[in-house]
Amino acid sequence: MKLSKLAKTLKPSATLAITAKAKELKSKGIDIIGFGAGEPDFDTPDNIKDAAKQSIDSGFTKYTAASGIVELKEAIRNRIYSDYGLKYENNQILVGSGAKHVLYNLFNVLIDENDEVLIPAPYWVSYPEQVKICGGVPVILNGSQEDDFKVTPKQILSRCSKKTKILVLNYPSNPTGATYNRKELEEIAEVAKEKNLIVLSDEIYDKIIYSGEKHVSFPELSEDTKERTILINGVSKTYSMTGWRIGYAAGNSDVISAMNNLSGQSTSNPTSISQKAAIEAFSGDQQKVTEMLKEFEIRKDFISSFLNKIEGIKCFVPRGAFYVFPDISYYFGKKYKGKNISNSIDFTDFLLEEAKVAVVPGIEFGSDNHIRISYATSIEDIKEGTKRIKESLKDL
Ligand code: PMP
Ligand code: GLU
């Protein structure tokens, strides 16, 4: 069959592809340690599962409004208000089938052919691809490890053109774990105002932030940032609910209304049962979130210090999220089994073959000098996997 032009340009999500590959090798009995998936290993908390069971038992198993039920929108509004003091109305909230779906809807309703979208790198794999699917042009702003992977207002300004429409922010960041403080965000806000940019602020890791640091939400900075920002979040990471597929957008009511129309013509509502579970997630006991954060912090401390002790590896210590993004370029030019390691894909292949460890090549996130390791897995696996990495590198 003849595929569309769009279909021919699509590429698989690297994060999902590597996770699937590691699972397949495991199912064949190969002892692989999987550091691919950005997916917490914890079980979804019981109170949330109970709310879902209750939803099924009470027959709440039918279509709902495409943009989500009012009760869930209210739980989201209350959550944003109690966390950041921000007030939204129900018509400013859209619930979708995961943050990825919400982002896709958002790009679709904002981007016209050749509109430019500023994306700080290293970036999460799906932003540039989604922008391209919508006919837009991703404009990549490179953040370097020396600057803690942050982009500066000057950099943003220098890449703005007449076609620039959206600035994507994602902090704490997937894949680097970098985040921005209030002052840095205020400086970015000034540029966003000067250039009249729509800011897409993906704050899905806002609760996974270390050393007691407080996350600052972009729309809370001023009336202006609230007006120009579409805030993105969801339940996948904070509540270990990746399979439930609930994400949301909060912001301008015209944008939300257009997204609602798109959902209505494409997916309809996010799963009714998951919506009830998400209400419990946002409104119920938060003890499990604190416990998961504590565990992530232990893992982060271990993995970043272990990697930094390996010859040639330079690892930024994350301030949030659950990934490390070490620079492995020291090993470029080395050989194994007659093969040359000259980029992050070669290095990733080497780790999979020699160390039986699955990671994601940095090139997928816009930096070929790095690899991404997700530490959303047990401390035992982290210890074993990093030991294997260290041992295998000795042979190079
Ligand atoms: N944004 C970022 C930065 C992510 O890392 C992810 C993937 N986990 C998502 C959005 C999408 O999350 P989900 O679709 O599971 O809500
Ligand atoms: N976002 C997670 C990751 O980066 C899950 C996979 C995906 O949605 O791309 O690994």
Of 259, 283, 307, at which residue does a domain stop?
A: 283
- Domain CATH number, residue 361: 3.90.1150.10
15 with 117, same domain?
no
30 with 96, same domain?
no
Query: Is residue 22's pLDDT more than 90?
Result: no
CB 257 less than 6 A from any atom of ligand 2: no
| 383 CB neighbour count, 10 Å cutoff | 15
Q: How far is the CA of 20 from the centre of ligand 2 (A)?
A: 12
The number of domains in the chain is 2
CA 226 to chain centre: 21
SS3 96: strand
Q: What is the pLDDT of residue 13?
A: 85
85 with 228, same domain?
yes
- Tell me the β-bridge partners of 139: 118
224 with 359, same domain?
no
CB 13 less than 6 A from any atom of ligand 2: yes
Q: How far is CA 225 from CA 62, 106, 156, 199, 370, in A?
A: 37, 17, 16, 8, 33
Q: Residue of the nearest CA to atom 4 in ligand 2?
A: 38
Q: How far is the CA of 130 from the centre of ligand 1 (A)?
A: 13
159 with 204, same domain?
yes
Residue 338 CB contacts under 8 Å (≥ 6 apart), including other chains: none
Phi-psi region of 335 (alpha: psi -120 to 50; beta: other; left: phi over 0): beta
383 with 262, same domain?
no
Residues 69, 275 contacting (CB under 8 angstroms): yes
Region 130-150: what's the mean pLDDT? 97
CB 325 less than 6 A from any atom of ligand 1: no
Residues 231, 250 contacting (CB under 8 angstroms): yes
Residue range(s) defining the domain that contains residue 373: 5-43+288-393
- Domain CATH number, residue 177: 3.40.640.10
Of 266, 283, 300, at which residue does a domain stop?
A: 283
Secondary structure of 213-252 in the HEC alphabet?
A: CCCCCHHHCCHHHHHHEEEEEECCCCCCCCCCCCEEEECC
- Residue 349, token pair as written in the block: 């292949």
208 with 165, same domain?
yes
183 with 332, same domain?
no
219 with 368, same domain?
no
154 with 224, same domain?
yes
Query: Is residue 12's pLDDT more than 90?
Result: no
Query: 20 falls in which pLDDT band (50, 70, 90)?
Result: confident
246 with 310, same domain?
no
In tens, the pLDDT along 319-355 reads: 999 999 999 999 999 999 899 999 999 999 999 999 9
CB 319 less than 6 A from any atom of ligand 1: no
Dist. CA 75–CA 344, nearest whole Å = 42
Of 238, 255, 283, at which residue does a domain stop?
A: 283
277 with 360, same domain?
no
CB 236 less than 6 A from any atom of ligand 1: yes
- Tell me the β-bridge partners of 164: 116
Model confidence pTM above 0.95: yes
Query: 164 falls in which pLDDT band (50, 70, 90)?
Result: very high
Max distance between CA atoms of the chain, in angstroms, equals 63
In tens, the pLDDT along 261-297 reads: 999 999 999 999 999 999 999 999 999 999 999 999 9
